[in-house]
A = this chain, B = another copy of it.
Amino acid sequence: MADFLYNDVARQISLGIKDLPVGTKLPSERDMSVQYGVSRNVLREALRLLSEKGMLRSMPGKGVYVANDGKDKLTDRLEDLLLRNDSSLADIVEVRETLELGVMEKAIQKATSEDIHALIQLYAQMEKKRDDIEAFNRLDMKFHVQLAKSTQNPIYSILVNTFFQLTDEKLFLLTQLFPSRIDSAQREHKYIIEAIQRRDMDNGLAIARQHFNINDILTGEIKQKSYNLTK
């Protein structure tokens, strides 16, 4: 499948920059073309591939630089796919719930004391921000991410992050916690932490189901509305 030169070069470059910090400048196109023993043209096509993947960034007159890790691009790709598959917002929310339920299960099994400590700290910070809804929601997001990290499985983090972005971008206010829900949210956060500490699977999953259920927030109207992208 990938039996063309530019694919080969792209693969080599991708491996070469794997461990380079973001922002590192690469050699010039001409230098790299001799380095890899191909024409500048082929090298440029390879750069196009990696740029499209989000690994590189070319700037006229400046050079080629190592870019972000591509998480955002994964979200873009998923958006493309969802667009073509007539996915509704409710579909996205549904999968997100499945993921977070899995996260809870694995977190109960594998969270380290450091993970639990981080969760407790986030809980404490949220306590202080009960009046600042915006700050509270940012911390709530961090709580979800830290929960995913507690699985010791980076893929959960990636996917949870992606689906979080997808829902938040589109629903915005709706997924945010409103004042009247802060009390119950914090109570649930506390229960979640306790369940993880006790490795209590039954209660943990029950709380998780309740806490991660965003469908209650979605009105029937929005449920029906199809997923419409407008960047």
Chain A residues within 8 Å of B, Cβ to Cβ: 2, 6, 11, 14, 18, 41, 44-45, 48-49, 52-53, 55, 68-71, 73-74, 77-78, 80-87, 91-92, 94-95, 97-99, 101-103, 105-106, 151, 153-156, 158-159, 231
Q: Are A95 and B159 in contact (CB under 8 A)?
A: yes
| Nearest opposing residue in chain B for A88, CB measure | B153
Q: Which of A2, A6, A80 gathers the greatest number of chain B CB atoms within 10 Å?
A: A80
Q: Are A18 and B83 in contact (CB under 8 A)?
A: yes
Q: How far is the CA of A20 from the CA of B201 in the complex (A)?
A: 48
Smallest CB separation, A60 vs chain B (Å):
8
In the complex, chain B residues whose CB is within 8 Å of the CB of A49: 48, 52
Smallest CB separation, A84 vs chain B (Å):
6
Smallest CB separation, A7 vs chain B (Å):
10
Q: Are B18 and A84 in contact (CB under 8 A)?
A: yes
Given A45-B44, A77-B53, A80-B53, the answer on whether A156 and B69 have CB atoms closer than 8 Å is: no
| Nearest opposing residue in chain B for A153, CB measure | B91
| Nearest opposing residue in chain B for A6, CB measure | B48
Residue in contact with A85 in the complex, picked from B73, B87, B95, B158, CB distance below 8 Å: B158
Smallest CB separation, A77 vs chain B (Å):
5
Smallest CB separation, A156 vs chain B (Å):
6
